[in-house]
Amino acid sequence: MCKCIKCNNKIIFNGPNKNASVEHIIPNAIGGKLKSSKLLCKKCNSDYGKECDSVLCKQLEFITVMLNPSRDRQTNLTFKTSSNEKYDISLNGKPV
């Protein structure tokens, strides 16, 4: 039996009350590939993504684009300028 490390609820892997989700130990956005489905329930995983992971990824975004690590989900990054213009940056650091 696995319990969520944040809320201590039982993690259910099958059935109608399934609440298991795959958590990247290091966020995918900065190149993390190590995953576990036994650490966080779906709700807490989502909360961590909004509260912690997104802040960390935003702080490391420039370095991540320049280093171009391989990721599970390959997506372009979007930057906003001070004048609110949007630019898409490919994973190799070049504007799209």
Residue 75 pLDDT exceeds 70: no
> Which residues, listed in sequence order, are joined to residue 88 by a DSSP beta bridge?
78
**The pLDDT value given to residue 33:** 86
Residue 81 has pLDDT above 80, yes or no: no
Task: For 14-63, write each residue's pLDDT tens digit.
Answer: 999 999 999 988 888 888 888 999 999 999 999 988 989 989 988 988 88
Task: State how far the alpha carbon of 22 is from the alpha carbons of 13, 19, 64, 75, 81, in Å.
Answer: 11, 10, 22, 18, 33
Closest to 88 in 3D by CA, of 52, 61, 49: 61
Compute φ and ψ for 67, nearest 5 degrees: -80, -25
At which residue do the structure tokens 């039982």 appear?
10
